[in-house]
Amino acid sequence: MFTNHDVPPSSHPFRLIAGAMLLAVAGAGSTYAAQPDIKVGLSITQTGPYSPPAIFELRGYQLAIDEINQKGGLLGRKLDLIKYDDQGNPSTAVQLYQKLLTDDKVDLLVSPYQTDLTAAVAPIVNRAKKVMPSLAANVENYSGKYPYLIQAITQTPQYMTPALDLAASKGYKTVALLIQNTQFPIQLAGGIEAEVKKLGMKIVFKESYDPSTTDFSALVLKAGNTHPDVIVGATYLADAEGIVRAAKSQNVSAKMFAFSIGPVEPEFYKSLGSAANGIFGTTLYFPSLHTKGNVEFVKSFKDKFNVEPDYHAAVAYASMKLLGQAVTEVGSLDQTKIRDAMLKLSEDTVVGHFKLSPTGLQTGYRSYVLQWQNGKQVLVWPKEDAEAAPILPHGGWK
């Protein structure tokens, strides 16, 4: 006769019950684990002259997806980011978004970097009825033409408004305007002209240039010969750097130099050195802002990427988090329901307050002014958000 201690482990009644329970749990766990990942797709400019800000956007998406996955994913499923390099080429971006939709069969989309690329992919994204929170700032994509696009960034015409307000507060009256001949800078220039007129200032020089331009000497000299108080560039990074180099080499003076995308990037100072000091840029976000969750975001971003986030990273991070929130609210991947949920969102994010018009135009986010001072970016305007006072007028080239 066996005692309890003599019962072989496999035949012990308690162990049999416990084993059955473990198998049931394991079975449930394997069913959960077998749930397919939710595929999130995009193309992003990882190489070429537009890549520095685009890589910050990619990092923002990656951090948001990591955090969502750490909290259990969406709908109990892990997010998987599928990304391709569009090299800043609109036709390449179109091919890649088609691949994401037809070959990869992604469940969710987020946008590429730059207005031209988003405009190129918008028709196929809308035709597929896929919601795409978009980081393209130009307003026409959100007028109802593409109802599945959601603007997750400040509107283009508002980018330079605070920089011009700062100039006006110093009594500056005349402006030279340099414009890269691509979609975002062209629309931005219209916003600059409207704000200049509103503030009682005057445009004394205005000229566009091809995006392939590398030598800005003649353009900057012509602008300088009008003796403007302010030289403003509707620019990206490479051309903003080129304009500053040309101004320094020819000793072109102005009381204030301000550019759109360019000074906001860490590469601006790496490329220009001390010539970057005193230059103003507009930004849609700054690490020192007292926005919801910003302290934690900055720490997590620095821990993961060993650099502070710029506004491209912040808007991408916020857009992915908001997309996730909409999916959770809907409880499915139904794209029309997700779009409708996003249109109703009114949320505080690391960027600021996210709010949309009925057609998906961003009405909540705004912009700020930073200046390079002693090799560091400092938030200087508006006054209520500033870390330090702006240094004006420009001190000349040393």
d(CA 380, CA 383): 7
What is residue 398's predicted lDDT score, i.e. its pLDDT? 78
Q: What is the pLDDT of residue 33?
A: 56
- Give DSSP secondary structure letters for 254-296: -SEEEESSSTTSHHHHHHHGGGGTT-EEEES--TT---TTHHH
Q: How far apart are the first and last CA of the chain?
A: 100
State residue 90 phi and psi, 5-degree precision. -60, -40
Identify the pLDDT of residue 261: 87
Find, among 335, 313, 308, the residue nearest to 323 by Cα.
335
**Mean per-residue pLDDT pooled into runs of 10, the chain (398 residues):** 36 38 38 77 96 96 98 97 98 98 98 94 98 96 96 96 98 98 96 98 98 97 98 97 98 97 93 98 96 98 97 98 98 98 98 98 97 98 96 94
Query: What is the rounded CA–CA span in Å between residue 339 and residue 342?
Result: 5
Cα-Cα-Cα-Cα dihedral sign, residues 41, 48, 305, 117 = negative
- Beta-carbon contacts of 90 under 8 Å, excluding residues fewer than 6 positions away, are 116, 117, 119, 120, 121
- Which of 183, 252, 244 has the alpha carbon at shortest distance from 211? 183
- Residue 211 makes CB contacts below 8 A (sequence gap 6+) with 180, 181, 182, 236, 239
pTM of the predicted model over 0.75: yes
> Would you state the structure tokens that stand for residue 20, as one six-digit string?
């059955």
In degrees, to the nearest 5, what angle opens at C-alpha 47 toward C-alphas 45 and 48?
Answer: 100
Mutual angle of helices 217-224 and 237-249, in 10-degree steps: 60
Spatial distance between the Cα atoms of 356 and 95, rounded to a whole number of angstroms = 29
Taking residue 391's Cβ as centre, other Cβ atoms within 10 Å add up to: 16
